Structure 1
């Protein structure tokens, strides 16, 4: 059973990065709307309107000469003008597509610069579609646009722009954020944060039956908040967008576990169950990703990382001695599990900031993987270091 649900979901979800794109390009007193005056619209402070329609496909060009999406878009614009919702003289018409294809009618419309170019582009469309029958799915829209409203079509084409993007619409966001002199390594975090905030605002507006409109002032406030966080070099959790239940993450965790690195063998020897081990693999991977990103973005350096590991190692050594003295009645497995629990629960800071929850257990596993520490009381005998290591 075939379904076009993935394509429909992409079409709807693409409005979020497109709205964010226009907010990044907007100015004081501008307002960006979603599903108010088309898919995405920008009401400029000077009274002008940028009306955008978004067309997407997961298989090919959604704007072919006989595309319903193409002719329905122009039909909707003409209906909005005739109904008084849009002033054609104060509106710029933007059609965004996430896929390119062979050049056709829409490209002729986009290239038209003068009145003569516009008339020529329409004549080209008429010639290309002259054999279109009235029972074709595009006919009602094509007939309404070209045959019954050609004068308005000419005005629209003169203020029309075709924009071809890529994928889900995030590449354009990266470029706009780069223009604001944001370090490369923090762009993804900004996109994740701002897209999440925007989606929440829009969904809440729709749920309360209000128009989904975001002012430049509200967006500017949010952008400054997250940008200040990045400039202050906070210990950003770069893995926060990945939930533990995410299928991709689950597969990555299980694939890593199958390799059975040393730190996993150390956990197995104190008999952690499968779910506990997978939890620790997740901690290890998340801590590793964050450490790499923090280094890359110069949030921490080798000296800070070494000092953090040193404090964790000292705590491990002290706890190991304490347990040996105070818990003489416990067996080796219980001592190992208790030592692991104590170390995972350790509260430690990096640059006087509390790191994400996975950082401390994940770092301990990295130390165990390097044979710096262990959990079983006899871990050094069970896992002797190889010569030269």
Structure 2
């Protein structure tokens, strides 16, 4: 790996599970590259694999959702070769320690790119260049790609051969995620595949972003990443667990929502809850709402069971409220309300027989409070109606 090499500035986009094509391909290489390798993102190329031997795999990714970026006269195609030749000529890479790959999704074809892929020796490379020159001369007007293409045509024969004989159009599928699914299927239940893949790509992307923010090279070691991802899969691929992949809301959003005083916040204000209690309630309420929608969308839960879940929590609230009244009837209504709230917040119960994350019960109780199905203060109905909101 040449950590001092200058980053190349070229990229392409295409959404897969909400991610551009480059992070998807980086994740694929993090899962499949040999031990001891590293994978960089948008550094020396869109994606690059740095092998322990010092060999380098440079991969350009192209989204073909709206056009064919590898048709014979496509600017994208020849810009790719221009980038590689520039790196070669500047000494950033050495031809004998690098290979060049072009990944296009969904798959497209082109006569020139197929001929370039098939050229495995100097004679074949020279023939491809001659054919391109011949076809170019027959065009009635210059193609838009001419400047980029001319850079390849004007390169030395040695440079042309170095790039062409080490170039290949990478096999691809309509959905780049399918290759990743195939890797994980032996150890991951089908129902969990896409959400774990989405999380894995997200983990990799966040790790790259943190490196960039710190001014460091955006390159990840395969061994460490794979170890952490496999640990994540083991934790979240359990049939008896409903896993939350909802992100913790940022502080600014939580504070903003708390300041609007939705009903569940007003309920807490009635029992003089602390500011920390209010902010935690907002965060868990938001995460729980996201979890319910996510689990239902993925078919992990039956939406009808959420009604039963709510009814069970309402009954549990009633029992806790009765116990507090019996044991702490001498205390103020606000104190009793805080005790009810905290016991409800600590309650744990399964949903459809599966364990839920810690924030889920707490968030569900706040959702019920927002709908006024439960309350913390003994007179919450009258007090809410009378506070002018």
Calculate the TM-score normalised by the size of structure 1: 0.64
Q: Which residue of 2 aligns with 1:62?
A: 69
Q: Which residue of 1 aligns with 2:347?
A: 347
Deviation string 1:177-229 (CA, Å, 9 cap, x unpaired) is: 33x63222232232233222222221222223221111122212322321231
How far is the alpha carbon of 1:94 from its aligned partner?
Answer: 0.5
Work out whether 1:121 is the aligned partner of 2:128.
yes
In the TM superposition, 1:205-216 aligns within 5 A as: 205-216=211-222
The answer as to whether partners of 2:40 and 2:47 remain within 8 angstroms in 1 is yes
RMSD: 5.3
Q: Which residue of 1 aligns with 2:259?
A: none
Q: Which residue of 2 aligns with 1:195?
A: 201
Work out whether 1:227 is the aligned partner of 2:233.
yes
Q: Which residue of 2 aligns with 1:286?
A: 291
The answer as to whether partners of 1:23 and 1:32 remain within 8 angstroms in 2 is yes
Structure 2 unaligned blocks of 5 or more: 1-10, 251-263, 265-283, 330-336, 376-389
Name the CA distance, whole Å, in 2 between partners of 1:85 and 1:349. 58
The answer as to whether partners of 1:343 and 1:361 remain within 8 angstroms in 2 is no
Work out whether 1:98 is the aligned partner of 2:98.
no
Q: Which residue of 2 aligns with 1:148?
A: 155
How far is the alpha carbon of 1:313 from its aligned partner?
Answer: 6.1
In the TM superposition, 1:367-386 aligns within 5 A as: none
Relative distance call for 1:280 and 1:307 in structure 2 (3 A) is closer
Name the CA distance, whole Å, in 2 between partners of 1:141 and 1:149. 15
In the TM superposition, 1:22-171 aligns within 5 A as: 22-113=29-120, 117-131=124-138, 136-163=143-170, 165=172, 169-171=176-178
Relative distance call for 1:200 and 1:134 in structure 2 (3 A) is same
Relative distance call for 1:120 and 1:141 in structure 2 (3 A) is same
Name the CA distance, whole Å, in 1 between partners of 2:183 and 2:219. 21
The answer as to whether partners of 2:287 and 2:363 remain within 8 angstroms in 1 is no
The answer as to whether partners of 2:112 and 2:132 remain within 8 angstroms in 1 is yes
Name the CA distance, whole Å, in 1 between partners of 2:119 and 2:242. 47
Name the CA distance, whole Å, in 1 between partners of 2:13 and 2:299. 34
Aligned residue for 2:53, secondary structure, equals coil
Number of aligned residues? 342
Name the CA distance, whole Å, in 2 between partners of 1:295 and 1:10. 28
The answer as to whether partners of 1:60 and 1:99 remain within 8 angstroms in 2 is no
The answer as to whether partners of 1:32 and 1:215 remain within 8 angstroms in 2 is yes
